[in-house]
Amino acid sequence: MAILKNRHDEIEKLCAKYPSRRSALLPVLWMVQEQEGWVSQDAMKEVAEIIGCTAAEVYEVVSFYTMYNQKPVGRHHIQFCHTLACAICGSHEAVGHIREKYGFDEGASISRDGKFSLVEVECIGACTEAPAMLVGETLYGNLTPERLDEVLNARN
Amino acid sequence: MPAAAYEKVLLPNIEKNETEWLSAYQKGGGYTALRTALGMTPEAITNLVKDAGLRGRGGAGFPTGLKWSFLPKGVGPRYLAINADESEPGTCKDRPLMEQRPHSMIEGIIITCLAIESQQAFVYIRGEYYNSAKVVQKAVDECYAAGILGNNVLGSGKRVDLVVHRGAGAYICGEETALLTSLEGYRGYPKLKPPFPAISGLYGKPTIINNVETVTNVPYILNKGVDWFKSFVHEKSTGLRLLCVSGHVKKPGVYEVPMTYTLREIIYDICGGIRNDHDLKFIIPGGSSVPWLLPDKLDAVCSMEGLQAAGSFLGSAGMMVMDHTVCPVWALTNLSAFYRHESCGQCTPCREGSAWLHKILLRIETGHGQEGDLQMLRSIAGTGPGTGMICGRSICALGDAAAWPVSSALNLYWNEFEEHVKNKGCGYKNKRFWMNKAGNFVNDAFAHKPTWGHAAH
């Protein structure tokens, strides 16, 4: 145990909430990601030991759920919605704006300075506030170029 | 017809966007319905909900009381799973409900537990709703501290525990059996039914799955009575409904309305009409899966029966409104990218079908359409529910959901699709497309997928 070494009690409390220890797999993976920003293969091995399953089983789950980052992300992780309700309100333009203004090389998911990472995601449930994005854990809706810059500059 | 003045109960102060914590909730009469329910038999609560005609608010509209009564007698433990994996594009009502009225949902959950004789409930909240999970967890903690949850609910000696569980970004987990598999700690793969979850659900035990909005209605049915609930009625749709209107209306938002308004009243009166007074092009009335409607259906009543008569569904009540600048081919390509991405990959008709639909649409949209493409789309998606190569052939309804918009758009806009193929692309001036700066086609709908991910189609 290296990554979650100081969190034994927290983990056991979590596992005790469920009739089956395996149910704690997603929450424990969230603990890893909240602490580390992503879920490494070493973390998967550790989580497997905690849950009592194989590392392959953990990987099977991590690779299914798109929110678990399998690679390190930027200091501020942006998840921009590009599904229809946001798309008809300009999400593709907004993503272009972010890529251009905040230093993303073509095809790169992390900005050159490592401050921001950007993924386009499917519907984030903020359709009536389109276009919308999550920065870290915070939702920002009704984005205009001005508001987008305001939000991102505050974290720059 | 426009309803007479009515009291909004689910989200009365939505524009304030404040969380109503325990003390404020109790000051407003919160948890009195629970006290009433503690003095009732499970059958009496179930019958009340049956009499009120409450139907599921998640999408399928199944009668809630009837669902509860499917549990086999004398088999336990029983579980209640609350579906807060609100992921259907266009739908965003459960998020404000959980973030503003967490206790109203929790009260509904405890009463439902009493009705189905369950001692353990789970709320499965989609991963993207970080804040909802925090708010609900804090409200649950308040309830444990106040003796509302735990082994002695309000001193009654009854036990109800509630666990807040977060998903991690998978649309499929809104499908009830996939939700349970995910809650068990596995990939969110749906299961074949039967057996239905009421017989064999979470951990193989009898389980009821209800939507957030569905259970939140329950305390109000107890407090205000069946007659109040049934005073909002269109055919078999009773009660108030949270309608999410997004897209090109002047005032998008979540509106709590009786299911008696027409689409015209919703779009033009409640939402102020179309932005810039543009023309209305089409409406997706009940979440992205449902068939599209043209402006000639504006007088359809926005209830489960009303929209079905118009050829669509009220579904999850996520209404997306498009003005005349939206190219239907482009819009459909966007939606099929969604279904391709969200197909769990377990069964072939959905995995392959959703991918083929998207591939063909993408090439039509980007000017590479071929003769026969439209016929091929139609042969895969069918001409309506129950036809084609996907509908009714997949383990869960995601396959149908991927096919319906395609068959519907082809039925409504065949000429525009033909023109895209013939003219090698889209004639819409402000269409948005997936091209990089060099003008090369980039499939960025998948750019964020890990190269070793589950759906590397």
Residue B439 has pLDDT above 50, yes or no: no
- What confidence category does residue A128 fall into, taking pLDDT thresholds of 50, 70 and 90? very high
User: Given strand B79-84, what is the order of strands in its sheet?
Assistant: B161-166, B120-125, B79-84, B207-211
Residue B436 has pLDDT above 60, yes or no: no
> Residue B453's pLDDT is what?
20
- What confidence category does residue B281 fall into, taking pLDDT thresholds of 50, 70 and 90? very high
Secondary structure of residue B282 in the 3-state scheme: strand
Residue B297 has pLDDT above 60, yes or no: yes
List of chain B residues whose C-beta atoms are within 8 Å of the C-beta of residue A119: 447-448
Q: What is the mean pLDDT of residues A52-79?
A: 97
Q: Are strands B240-247 and B318-323 parallel, antiparallel or unpaired?
A: parallel
Residue closest to A104 by CA, chosen among A92, A93, A118, A90? A118
Half-sphere exposure of B3 (CA within 13 A, CB side): 20
Residue A108 has pLDDT above 80, yes or no: yes
A5: amino acid identity, one letter: K
Task: Please name the member of B92, B184, B342 whose beta carbon is closest to the beta carbon of A20.
Answer: B184
Residue closest to B410 by CA, chosen among B364, B359, B367, B341? B364
Residue B438 has pLDDT above 50, yes or no: no
Q: Say whether domain A76-154 belongs to CATH 3.30.365.10.
A: no
Which CATH number applies to A8-62? 1.10.10.1590
> Residue B451's pLDDT is what?
24
Residue closest to B102 by CA, chosen among B149, B126, B129, B137? B137
- What confidence category does residue B428 fall into, taking pLDDT thresholds of 50, 70 and 90? low
> Over the range B163-186, which residues count as b (16 or more CB within 10 Å of their CB) and which as e?
bbbbbbbbbbbbbbbbbbbbbbbb
Percent above pLDDT 70 for chain A: 99
> Residue B443's pLDDT is what?
37
List of chain A residues whose C-beta atoms are within 8 Å of the C-beta of residue B248: 88
- What confidence category does residue A145 fall into, taking pLDDT thresholds of 50, 70 and 90? confident
List of chain B residues whose C-beta atoms are within 8 Å of the C-beta of residue A130: 246-247, 252
Distance from CA of A87 to the nearest CA of B (A): 8
pLDDT digits (tens, 9 = 90+) for B11-24: 999 999 999 999 99
d(CA B285, CA B293): 7
Interchain CB distance below 8 Å, B448 and A121: yes
Instruction: Count the helices and strands in chain A (H runs, E runs).
Output: 7, 4
Q: What is the mean pLDDT of residues B169-181?
A: 97
d(CA A107, CA A20): 42
> Residue B73's pLDDT is what?
93
Question: Both ends of chain A: CA-CA distance in Å?
Answer: 34
d(CA B156, CA B152): 6
Residue A101 has pLDDT above 60, yes or no: yes
CA dihedral A15, A19, A23, A29 (to 10 degrees): -10
Interchain CB distance below 8 Å, A23 and B184: yes
Percent above pLDDT 70 for chain B: 93
Q: Please, what are the domains in chain B?
A: 14-230 (3.40.50.11540), 233-323 (3.10.20.600), 328-446 (1.20.1440.230)
Task: Please name the member of A26, A83, A120 whose beta carbon is closest to the beta carbon of B448.
Answer: A120
- What confidence category does residue B3 fall into, taking pLDDT thresholds of 50, 70 and 90? low
Interchain CB distance below 8 Å, B182 and A126: no
Task: Please name the member of B170, B335, B448 whose beta carbon is closest to the beta carbon of A64.
Answer: B170
> Residue A90's pLDDT is what?
85
- Could you tell me the two tokens for B113? 């537990």
Q: What is the mean pLDDT of residues B97-114?
A: 98
Task: Please name the member of A20, A22, A84 whose beta carbon is closest to the beta carbon of B89.
Answer: A84
Domains in chain A: boundaries: 8-62, 76-154
Would you call A85 an interface residue with chain B, using a CB distance cutoff of 8 Å? yes
Average pLDDT of every residue of chain B: 91
Interchain CB distance below 8 Å, B437 and A30: no
Residue closest to A11 by CA, chosen among A32, A33, A36, A28? A28
